[in-house]
Amino acid sequence: MNRARLFCKALKSPASLFVLSLFGVLSVMVAGNLWRGPDIFITGFLQSRPSESLDCAATSLSWIGSAELTGAVSVFIFFFLWKRLGPDTALAFGGALGLATAAEIAFKVFLPQMPIPDSLHRACGDLPQGFIHVPTPNSFPSGHTFRTTFLLFMIIRIYSFFYRSPITDHRSLFFSLCLLFVLLMAVSRVYIGDHWLSDVLGGILLAWAAVLWVPVEKRLLR
């Protein structure tokens, strides 16, 4: 029960509610087709100078964000948290990932949005994007972006706790590389025509909220 209360407290924290409110506003705008202009413009801009090499590079990034690979990383992080920080943090991590993943699938099933024309798809057919797929009628929010962002933000939180000294060059570089990879994943999903801009923004916000549900510091400092 203490674990459940701790998780619910993190779920209802001001920071979590703020990010969830941003996600909610974005969802309403997507359902109301208010992102049509920006979505079409950004996709057109990114695809204005396409090339086969870019297609393959973007598709390769998609594989990195696949359910199989991110699932394996999640299992590793779960057992790391269990061993180093205790079951409370590990179970909160698993609960946050499971709850957010369920929300991602539910939104893809029930939230109506502008479909992506087949003419915009640029994925390199020779490269796998993953083998586990849950067929859904819509694309909001981006699962690849959500999973990648969630895991990298979680790694940043863990790294920050174990290295709580003043920020050094290597910490700044590590954080910058993580954020850069999130950006590249988001851009690649839009470039290959698998998602709109609003989809990847939704994935980032959902991941940001889910990371806040894992009370790493509060659990450790008790």
Under DSSP, the state recorded for 125 is: T
Q: Is residue 76 part of a domain?
A: yes
Check residue 128 and give its pLDDT.
57
> What is the rounded distance in angstroms from the CA atom of residue 175 to the CA atom of residue 165?
15
Residue 163 lies in a domain: yes
Host domain of residue 171 = 2-6+17-220
Q: Reply yes or no: is the peptide bond before residue 141 cis, omega within 30 of 0.
A: yes
Q: Give yes or no for a contact between 62 and 192, defined as CB atoms under 8 angstroms apart.
A: yes
Q: Is the pLDDT of residue 54 over 50?
A: yes
Select from 132, 126, 73, 74 the least CA-distant residue to 105.
132
Q: Specify whether the backbone of 114 is left (phi greater than 0), alpha (psi in -120 to 50) or beta.
A: beta
Neighbouring C-alpha atoms within 13 Å toward the C-beta of 116? 24
Single pTM value for the model: 0.90
The pLDDT assigned to 220 comes to: 42
Closest by CA position to 189, among listed 181, 199, 174? 199
Report the alpha-carbon angle 207-197-44, nearest 5.
155
What is the tens place of the pLDDT at every residue in 111-170? 989 889 988 888 776 555 566 677 788 999 999 999 999 999 999 988 887 776 555 557
CATH code, domain with 134: 1.20.144
Q: State how far the Cα of 130 lies from the Cα of 124, in Å rounded to an integer.
A: 13
Number of domains in the chain: 1
Say which residue, 63 or 102, is predicted with more confidence: 102
Find the farthest-apart pair of alpha carbons in the chain and give their distance in angstroms, rounded.
Answer: 55
In a domain, 194, yes or no: yes
Report the C-alpha gap between 26 and 30 in whole angstroms.
6
Give the pLDDT score at 67.
Answer: 86
Query: Does residue 55 fall inside a structural domain?
Result: yes
**Percent of the chain whose predicted confidence (pLDDT) is above 70:** 88
Considering the domain boundaries, does residue 150 fall inside one? Answer: yes
Any domain includes 12: no
| 222: confidence class by pLDDT, cuts 50, 70, 90 | very low
Q: Is 11 part of a structural domain of the chain?
A: no
**Residue 65 counted as domain residue:** yes
Contact 197, 42 (CB under 8 A): yes
- Token pair of 81, please? 């948290």
